[in-house]
Structure 1
Amino acid sequence: MADDTKGFTQGPSGGQLFTLDEKKFFSLVDEGDVNAVQKFLEENPGFDINCVDSKGVSALQMAVHNHDGGMVTFLLDQRDILLSDCALRAVSEDQHSILLLLMERMAVIHPDLEFAGCPDSAYYPEYMTPLMLAAQCDNYEIIGMLMERGHKIQHPHPPKCSCNCCREALKDTKRGERLLDVYRAITNPTYICQNSTDQILTAFELNKELMDYASTDLELRPTYLDLAKKVRVFATDLIGGGNCLVWGLVLMAPSVRLPQDPDHLQADDSAPPHSIHMFSKTQNRGWSLPEFAHQQNVEQLRYLHNLPDSCVHGVEPG
């Protein structure tokens, strides 16, 4: 019986078989020897440059992982090269210059390609876009570069929205995780600072949205609450590291119930203790929130009085 595996070798993980030529090709790519790779391809016309190794990684993906801009540039110039999820990998690897090379090539293939996810990725969900991933990775430089190129993150609709788009989305089994991934991106402080002209207002709006989703999706409620807490910490840091007025507004949102015992508020350790103490005193004295704010910081009161009613529930201007 003939040996069907002649000319093949098995990967270190015991996985997919690949030819000796493919093994040599990947070795040259991994070494970063562009001239040797070019010579190999010239000597092997018809070689599949998009073949994958035993781990399912292509040569271009390997070059991105190795941060090898020269090899990436060479491979991108090859006919029929497939980009797959290389842009997302470049984001994960924090490779600004390599990502730019990939984006330029994607724009040549199709003007909308760079804005989309990768449906055939084994590592990222198909809806994950470069900007979403950059925001989740907290990469300031890449976020800025992508936004300059016109990348955007579509903001989720309210949880009880009944538009055609939302009704159709209910059929998606990955809807819950998709929404969370979007919120993980748009609640990142680095993204907020670059995307919003009023970061404090944005933080209040996001807190409300997350609390609304937490009240309607019991399965994912803990994750939504955790994201909301992080947004509140961000708002606190913006206004001055534990400003009482900010926490007064946050705690008076309808989705937050103030217990009778002020000590119980300390369970939310993102709220500074002195803020909790001062806010509880305003209730005991019968102060309205604006009266309380006046005692703390008149200028911040003026700013927050301009917040929409959707952000400051139950608070009437003084």
Structure 2
Amino acid sequence: QLRNPANVTMHRRHTTLREKGRRQAVRGPAYMFNERGSALTAEEERFLDAAEYGNIPVVRKMLEESKTLNFNCVDYMGQNALQLAVGNEHLEVTELLLKKDGLARIGDGLLLAISKGYVRIVEAILAHPAFGGGLRLALSTLEQEMRDDDFYAYDEDGTRFSHDITPIVLAAHCQEYEIVHILLTKGARIERPHDYFCKCSECVEKQKKDSFSHSRSRMNAYKALASAAYLSLSSEDPVLTALELSNELARLANIETEFKVRCPIGFSSFFSFFILY
């Protein structure tokens, strides 16, 4: 059966996810209960504390001089040094960490910076070679799960974001105009979801595998497309685009019940923006 290319791909996907699950098993709250997970060394504890509190000299010295430091270690909440530094808006520490080859969870760091509106940290992370060519900006965490790396945390403990979220979708949700502009200049765009009745292999597979996640991803995409930040910066005629989206969502509200309550929200804020400014 594995001779079928589709079966080979699915088998590889399941195998990869299973291995990632094993690798992530000692992360997050497991550190409080798992003997393996609780074995942070004194050096690692000191390093994570320094990153969390923005102790630049200590972080720099440990990164440059220590031969035994695992700079990707995580605390009992599943956060690594990069996530701790970004979450506490320590730009200098973030820049020091980004210089290290093999740094994990860069994608989670970017999403965290976007959610908090830390523009300078967003710019620093986007300057990392991992974002060369803009490919990473176009893919969600779910779409990148087949990559054998730790660019995103694949467990629920390490990330607080939905797995269908991309950086520009999150920036649009948060109405972060400056960050949306930065991402647009990097080539990031929000793809409009396929028609509800689309029968392409991708849509059929997503609907069959997890209809809830598929519906949620459509909601997140339309919410981002309808945001004032994205509409005003990405469209030559934002008002016309908003009206077209409004008509599309009104049609979808008769098909997908999830859109009945949510579809007017983005447009009301968008038109308020034009009335005020």
Per the TM superposition, whether the score is higher than 0.5 is yes
Aligned to 1:94: 117
The within-5 A match list for 1:146-185 is: 146-173=183-210, 174-185=213-224
Q: In the alignment, residue 181 of structure 1 is paired with which amino acid?
A: N
Listed as ranges, the gaps of 5+ residues in structure 2 are: 1-28, 146-151, 154-158
Q: 1:109 to 1:56 in 2, by over 3 A?
A: farther
In 2, distance between residues paired with 1:146 and 1:71? 23
Query: Which structure would you say has the larger Rg?
Result: 1
Q: Is contact 2:246–2:267 with CA below 8 Å preserved after alignment?
A: yes
Partner residue in 2 for 1:229: 264
Q: Please name the residue that 2:89 is paired with.
A: 67
Match runs of 1:1-318 below 5 Å: 14=32, 16-17=37-38, 18-82=40-104, 83-107=106-130, 111-118=134-141, 119=145, 120-121=152-153, 122-173=159-210, 174-218=213-257, 220=258, 224-231=259-266, 233=268, 237=272
Structure 1 residue 138: Cα displacement: 0.5
**1:60 CA displacement:** 0.7
Asked if the contact 1:51/1:58 (under 8 Å) is kept, the reply is yes
Deviation at 1:175, TM superposition (A): 0.3
Q: Percent sequence identity over matched residues?
A: 27
Question: Per the alignment, do residues 61 and 235 of structure 1 end up closer, same or farther by CA in structure 2, a change over 3 Å counting?
Answer: closer
Mark the CA change 1:21 to 1:231 in structure 2 (over 3 Å): closer, same or farther: closer
Counterpart Cα distance in 2 of 1:34 and 1:233: 44
Higher relative contact order (CA 8 A, sep 6+): 2
| 2:130–2:136 CA contact under 8 A, matched in 1 | yes
Aligned to 1:117, the other structure's residue is in SS state coil
Letter in 2 for 1:227: R
CA distance in 1, matches of 2:250, 2:274: 21
RMSD: 2.6
Q: Is the 8 A contact 1:106 1:113 kept in 2?
A: no
CA contact (8 A) 1:207 1:232 kept: yes
1-structure distance, mates of 2:216, 2:96: 37
Cα distance between partner residues in 1 of 2:102 and 2:273 = 49
The amino acid that maps onto 1:229 is P
Read off the aligned partner of 2:86 and give its amino acid letter. Answer: V
Q: Which runs of 5+ in 1 are unaligned?
A: 1-10, 242-318
TM-score, structure 1 normalization: 0.64
- For the Cα contact (< 8 Å) 1:69–1:98, is it kept in 2? yes
**Cα 1:126/1:228, change in 2 over 3 Å:** closer
**1:139 deviation in Å?**
0.4
Cα distance, 1:228–1:114 mapped onto 2, change above 3 Å? closer
Confirm or deny: 8 A CA contact 1:207 1:231 kept in the other structure: no
Which one-letter code corresponds to 1:85 in the other structure? D
Return the offset for 1:100.
Answer: 1.3
SS at the partner of 1:75?
Answer: helix
- Structure 1: distance between partners of 2:76 and 2:199: 46
1:60-95 CA-partner distances (Å, limit 9, x unpaired): 111111111110111111232122411101101111
Does the residue aligned with 2:208 lie in a helix, a strand or coil?
A: coil
**Per the alignment, do residues 238 and 46 of structure 1 end up closer, same or farther by CA in structure 2, a change over 3 Å counting?**
closer
Q: Could you say if the C-alpha distance between residues 125 and 208 of structure 1 is closer, same or farther in structure 2, counting changes exceeding 3 Å? A: same
| Residues 211, 108 of structure 1: alpha-carbon distance in 2 compared, 3 angstrom cutoff | closer
Superposed CA offset, 1:258-279 (max 9, x none): xxxxxxxxxxxxxxxxxxxxxx
Aligned equivalent of 1:265: none
Segment drifting more, 171-180 vs 104-113? 104-113
CA gap of 1:99–1:239, structure 2 versus 1, over 3 A, is: closer
TM-superposed CA distance for 1:39, in Å, is 2.3
Count how many residue pairs are aligned between Structure 1 and Structure 2.
226
Greater mean deviation of Cα atoms: 22-31 or 166-175: 166-175
Normalized against structure 2, the TM-score is what? Answer: 0.73
